[in-house]
Amino acid sequence: MSNVSEQNAANGSLPNVVADELRSLIVRGTLLPGEHLGQTQLAERFGRSKVPIREALKLLATEGFLRHDRNRGYFVSPLDYEEALQLYKLRRWLEAELLSSAQWPDDAQIAAFRAQFDALDAMDQRADFNRWAQALEQLRYAIFDLSPQKVLLREAIRLWTLTDRYRALMPRQVGESPERKLIDALQARDRGRLISDYLAARATVEAALEQALHKQHTA
């Protein structure tokens, strides 16, 4: 369960729980861009009343996952290259800032990072993408939480949520995730290496995203 989902479950907020379920369906591609989400059908699907469904739809609309038409209701937002480009640019800036201010982890923290990475690397993301994505989010959060700039971290978490559905477009990775290099740089306490390895990884992801969106647009 992700940090956001855990918080929502702990708060016992039914609209937030429903929003998490719908968000997951959008990220996985079960609910497709442009698909209409009727409140009656969703209430039947999730076994909920219309009130938490309606509040969940409003929440997802404010996050950008849904678009609302006054006459026709809610639709899954289309994937847009310009939006993705700006979201990933914001991520790159925020995450680089967080790494620039990260406090060096001690040996116990490094060992915990490596254990998380080994568990992540052993997963087959093609077979269980959701489980892999949650493990990646937890490791990513642990690394960026080294920074004392918690306001920036909260914004980074928000952007992770918004970019999840774009990441789901890209081919499932076969090699290991780039986080190992970040952990190595943290252990070596090499700030320049940490930032350069991070930026190289982001460039690879953004290039793959551009290719995936172009392919979808021309299909």
Confidence check: pLDDT of 5 > 50: no
Closest Cα to residue 19, out of 161, 210, 216?
161
- Confirm whether 152 is domain-assigned: yes
Which domain, by its residues, includes 152? 81-218
| Residues 105 and 122 reside in one and the same domain | yes
pLDDT of residue 216: 67
pLDDT of residue 47: 87
| Residues 15 and 86 reside in one and the same domain | no
Q: 110: which 2 tokens?
A: 């490094």
| Residues 43 and 103 reside in one and the same domain | no
Please report, in angstroms and rounded to a whole number, the separation of the first and last CA atoms in the chain. 34
- Confirm whether 111 is domain-assigned: yes
Domains: count for the chain: 2
* Angular region, 73: left φ>0, alpha ψ -120 to 50, beta rest: left
| Residues 66 and 110 reside in one and the same domain | no
For residue 48, give the CATH number of its domain.
1.10.10.10
| Residues 150 and 190 reside in one and the same domain | yes
| Residues 68 and 92 reside in one and the same domain | no
Distance, CA of 171 to chain centre: 16
| Residues 54 and 149 reside in one and the same domain | no
pLDDT averaged over the chain?
Answer: 85
| Residues 53 and 16 reside in one and the same domain | yes
- Confirm whether 1 is domain-assigned: no
- Confirm whether 4 is domain-assigned: no
| Residues 90 and 131 reside in one and the same domain | yes
pLDDT mean over 155-165: 86
Of residues 52 and 81, more confidence is placed in: 52
| Residues 20 and 67 reside in one and the same domain | yes
**Domain final position from 43, 61, 76:** 76
pLDDT in tens, 121-147: 888 777 777 788 788 889 999 999 999
Work out the number of other CB atoms within 10 angstroms of the CB of residue 148: 11
Q: Which residues contact 42 (CB under 8 A, 6 or more apart)?
A: 22, 48, 53, 57
| Residues 111 and 67 reside in one and the same domain | no
- Confirm whether 176 is domain-assigned: yes
**Domain final position from 26, 52, 76:** 76
Confidence check: pLDDT of 154 > 80: yes
**Domain final position from 76, 103, 121:** 76
pLDDT of residue 176: 54
| Residues 200 and 102 reside in one and the same domain | yes
pLDDT of residue 4: 44
- Confirm whether 128 is domain-assigned: yes
pLDDT of residue 172: 57
pLDDT in tens, 20-76: 889 888 877 788 888 999 999 999 988 888 899 999 999 999 988 899 998 899 999
- Confirm whether 3 is domain-assigned: no
